[in-house]
Structure 1
Amino acid sequence: MNRTSARAPDTAAGERVLILSAGVGSGHNSAAAAVQQPSAARADVAEVQVLDVLQVSSVLYRALLGKGYFVLVENSPWLVELGYDISDPPFRRRGPIDPWTRVNALPVIAAIKRFRPTAIVCTHFLPAQLVALLLLRGVIDARTAVVTTDYDFQGLWLTGAFHALFLAREEGKVELMAFGVPPDRVAATGIPIATQLNLAPARDANEPPKLLISAGATGGTYAVSVVRQTLHMRSSFTATVVCGRNNALRQRIEQLVTPAGDRYRVLGFTAEMPQLLRRADLFVGKPGGLSASECMAAGLPMVLVNPIPGQEVRNGDYLIEQGAAVRCNTAATIGWKIDEVLREPGRLQRMQAAARRTGRPGAAADVLSRLLDGPSRPLVVTRAAQKTILDESERRVVATDLTGPSSLVRLIDSAEGSTVALLRAEELGDLQKRYGAPNGGLVLRRSQALVSLRWEEQRLLRAMLRGDDTLPVRVEGLPSPLRFLPR
């Protein structure tokens, strides 16, 4: 990999924000576009750019990652679930990027160097892993954020170097703190969604309930079963069916609902989803992270159908737990399930209130503010610390319960008060010999020839020192996660 430095310009000229996504489905790119909105609105941001890393990769790589995933979802969902579970433990893979991914990453690295960002936001784990590698090698000097796009945390998102990690909900933060990730580097902001300035009028309680049936951006054929079952419902309702980019699906559903007159409105892909969400009373569709977040922000409860094994099933579990959704596990009962919600007095209203409580419409602005106003140095998690975190997750051990050489300790920037490194206790020995200070802390120095250090120590110093010659730090144990629970 080319090690030419791409040091960021002085932020006095304005922040240069680069948002990296990957077009595996529409959610990651939607989250990237959502973060772009507050970036463009801030006076301290000189330029913002969004890059889908798959669009600058080879055609084969793009096809296998983008289209191949949905082929598996359609034909072998059990394999998707297996892959999700296997990759769920954090730091399951700690080695270098594989050669094929490295080759396809070269155009992304070139784009990063050309843009010279002062801040990078990653809304997919692929660019997040790449950016971590560039931080550790000294190729970039920008604040970096990892923004997850599902309600449940998945281990692939946790990287060896980052400035901030933004999660959808508080439980994910508690989970990461239990592994040892410092609380000052993790925040539960919600999933970024676009802000809509010209929304439609709110739903009218005097009209029959409005259903919004979504087949997703690509137009899943499960929508046919959903619509067919609603034809047998007893409740009074109207429905808008969104078929995405699947024109054949749209035509099929139009023929299906012809006998129902004007009760159904059938659309293809539409840019008016925010307005449709605001007008509707009940959403029927898949619990993708972005779709669910948009529904919650609009106060729109959900009837969940056909979730993708893994992340969407877990999204659904969370929404049901909050009282903002119900799940239908078989197409034969969809109409009955919706009827049950509509016919029980007060139930729909309670679900709408739960959705409003769950929604985080300001997540995108929150992510950007926390990143730009947060610590200037990254958090580095050493390979040994990553191994401990992986072992903890598999043994279901809380990091603060560990003792001995494999326990985790933090290095705290004495000036900023932020955690700059997470390492094993046994790794402190060499650092204390080289950089020990009279007060028991450390003063890390660039004057120590990097070539004389072990490879892991080189990575640690390069990322933490940035442009400075010295960095005083103090050594602390891990705080209890319970101290940081909201009251």
Structure 2
Amino acid sequence: SEVMSSAVVTIALLASAWSRRQPRAPPPADAPCLPSSIPALFNPDNSADAFRRWAPLRALRHTASEKQEAVLMDRTTGPRLSQLASTPASASVPSHGRKRVLILISDTGGGHRASAQALDAALDTLRPSSFDVSIVDIWTDYGRWPHNQFVKGYAGAAKRQWIWRAMYYASATPPSIQFLKVTAKLTCSKGFEKCIRQHDPDMVVSMHPLCQDIPLEILTKMGDGVRRVPFATVVTDLGGAHPTWFHKDVDACFVPSNAVRKLAEKKGLAGSKLRQRGLPVRPDFWKAPASREELAQELGLSASRKTVLVVGGGDGVGSLEQIVDATAAKVSQACPDEAQIVAVCGKNAELRQRLEDKQYPGVNVQVKGFVQRMSDYMEMADCIVTKAGPGTIAEACIRGVPIMLSNFLPGQEAGNVPFVTDGGFGAYSPKPRAIASKVTSWLQDPGQLEEMSTRAREAASPAAAVDIASDICEMIDVADSDAK
């Protein structure tokens, strides 16, 4: 996923650590230097031993703090970890008789946590008060430097797509994957084991591509060579997926689409382990919405005007301002006083203020910050302009909204573009004027909008979260039965 750049970032940070540490703690004479040890590093049979003796890593292990710090800040969108700060590694989180489900993620972008929360809600819907679900960013909360910096690294690289492209594709190569695996095991295994022992799960669900390898090994170790805790992966990419998503030892791998299923099969996952259920989305999208007239009144919109929803993501990044300006100009010229635009700026307060200060004659423009009622706004929308994030695409499909894609992260989101365009319910262009022209043509052709809306709904999986939760309940039941 989006944190795949970590392999390249890790290499740079390890070298930096070595350069800072070397004058104070020279490596032993027999420590292998980088050039001569490269072949050994990526040999699966002896790479772990080679890395332990590799001087830059030894410097890193001395430089990093020996103390595993727990996160003391309560997250408003996730589990509270402040209580765990003083909990011994051997203790477990109280469960009060409920089944404990540990969902592992990394907060690189909002999609992993959003899907995890959807799964949490689905489990509670199927079996109320039967589960204690913990959603844990295991790399940030239990990892060690440099691996606990994934979230910061993602935010920076995502804003510089040429850097992202290079890192993403480089990290998909076997040497980079092996490098990341070995360094992560050596520096993060103790922290990850602490996490798993604290939560003492009855079920583990990975919703991030880097949350399979180490947890599976730890669970096997805790079971004296036999893993007794069921383990599932839920892939949260839609039209494509990084190879690290697919681990042969999981009990089940939930995939959202035919494209991702094919990738999993190429990576050697058995067909019996693959379950195609769709992408889990927020509970608001599980239910039928209110009427258009009622929503229009509540949201301050006109029920009779065509509505264009322009979404800039949680941080409001991208060319949203130029898209709004171009679309407002084109729409007001082609169909004056017949359309309205809702611009969602996310957390970008400066962008929101700039748009609010502008005048758009001939079209009503409503500017919003971070919205909680995205399902209702999508129900009002006749089309949406957005980057190619898998969650937004999946939610728009459920509401039957034609999609105009304006941007995508190279590699990670590239497969989402043909998912939309080949599916017949959208188009792609990075140019604001081209976007404005395409959207305006849609608004002037109700028949095309209706056809694209139908195809979007055909690609939707509104019950994905509940279906996955049902399968997980069954996996827990089977594990219980086998244990008796």
The two structures share one fold, judged by TM-score above 0.5? yes
CA contact (8 A) 1:285 1:303 kept: yes
Distance 1:345 1:96, change over 3 A: closer
Structure 2 gaps of 5+ residues are 1-47, 49-87, 294-301
Alpha-carbon distance in 2 for matches of 1:91, 1:322? 35
Instruction: Please give the secondary structure, in 2, of the residue aligned with 1:372.
Output: helix
Matched, 1:364 2:465: yes
Structure-2-length-normalised TM-score: 0.70
Instruction: Please give the secondary structure, in 1, of the residue aligned with 2:177.
Output: coil
Task: Report what 1:156 is aligned to.
Answer: 244
Task: Report what 2:132 is aligned to.
Answer: 47
Task: Report what 2:216 is aligned to.
Answer: 132
Alpha-carbon distance in 2 for matches of 1:354, 1:37? 28
Instruction: Give 2:235's aligned amino acid.
Output: T
Alpha-carbon distance in 1 for matches of 2:288, 2:370? 18
Q: 2:290 aligned to 188, 201, 204, which one? A: 201
CA contact (8 A) 2:138 2:195 kept: no
Q: 1:116 aligned to 200, 204, 228, which one? A: 200
Matched, 1:169 2:169: no
Can you list the C-alpha shifts for 1:215-268, whole angstroms capped at 9, x where unaligned? Answer: 100111410111111122123311111111111111111123x24387011011
Distance 1:352 1:332, change over 3 A: same
Instruction: Give 1:244's aligned amino acid.
Output: G
Can you list the C-alpha shifts for 1:448-478, whole angstroms capped at 9, x where unaligned? Answer: xxxxxxxxxxxxxxxxxx979xxxxxxxxxx
Equivalence map 1:284-295=2 (5 Å): 284-295=385-396
Alpha-carbon distance in 2 for matches of 1:175, 1:89? 15
Can you list the C-alpha shifts for 1:258-299, whole angstroms capped at 9, x where unaligned? Answer: 243870110111211122112211111111011111111121
Equivalence map 1:252-263=2 (5 Å): 252-256=354-358, 258-260=359-361, 263=364
Equivalence map 1:20-31=2 (5 Å): 20-31=104-115
Instruction: Please give the secondary structure, in 2, of the residue aligned with 1:127.
Output: coil
Alpha-carbon distance in 1 for matches of 2:291, 2:213? 41
Alpha-carbon distance in 1 for matches of 2:423, 2:352? 33
Matched, 1:66 2:168: no
Q: Percent identity?
A: 23
Q: 2:316 aligned to 216, 219, 224, which one? A: 219
Task: Report what 1:246 is aligned to.
Answer: 348
Task: Report what 1:272 is aligned to.
Answer: 373
CA contact (8 A) 1:167 1:186 kept: yes
CA contact (8 A) 2:140 2:149 kept: no
Distance 1:354 1:100, change over 3 A: same
Distance 1:262 1:60, change over 3 A: farther
Distance 1:175 1:71, change over 3 A: closer
CA contact (8 A) 1:153 1:167 kept: no
Instruction: Give 1:146's aligned amino acid.
Output: T
Alpha-carbon distance in 2 for matches of 1:343, 1:277? 19
Equivalence map 1:80-95=2 (5 Å): 80-88=164-172, 93-94=177-178
Task: Report what 1:355 is aligned to.
Answer: 456
CA contact (8 A) 2:92 2:199 kept: no
Instruction: Give 2:115's aligned amino acid.
Output: A
Matched, 1:192 2:280: yes
Alpha-carbon distance in 2 for matches of 1:238, 1:280? 9
Instruction: Give 2:149's aligned amino acid.
Output: L
Can you list the C-alpha shifts for 1:411-440, whole angstroms capped at 9, x where unaligned? Answer: xxxxx9xxxxxxxxxxxxxxxxxxxxxxxx
Alpha-carbon distance in 2 for matches of 1:284, 1:265? 15
CA contact (8 A) 2:341 2:364 kept: yes
CA RMSD of aligned residues (A): 3.5
Task: Report what 1:302 is aligned to.
Answer: 403
Task: Report what 2:437 is aligned to.
Answer: 336
TM superposition shift of 1:376? 8.5
Instruction: Please give the secondary structure, in 1, of the residue aligned with 2:159.
Output: helix
Instruction: Give 2:386's aligned amino acid.
Output: G
TM superposition shift of 1:305? 0.3
Distance 1:225 1:63, change over 3 A: farther
Instruction: Please give the secondary structure, in 2, of the residue aligned with 1:97.
Output: helix
CA contact (8 A) 2:123 2:470 kept: no
Instruction: Please give the secondary structure, in 2, of the residue aligned with 1:245.
Output: coil
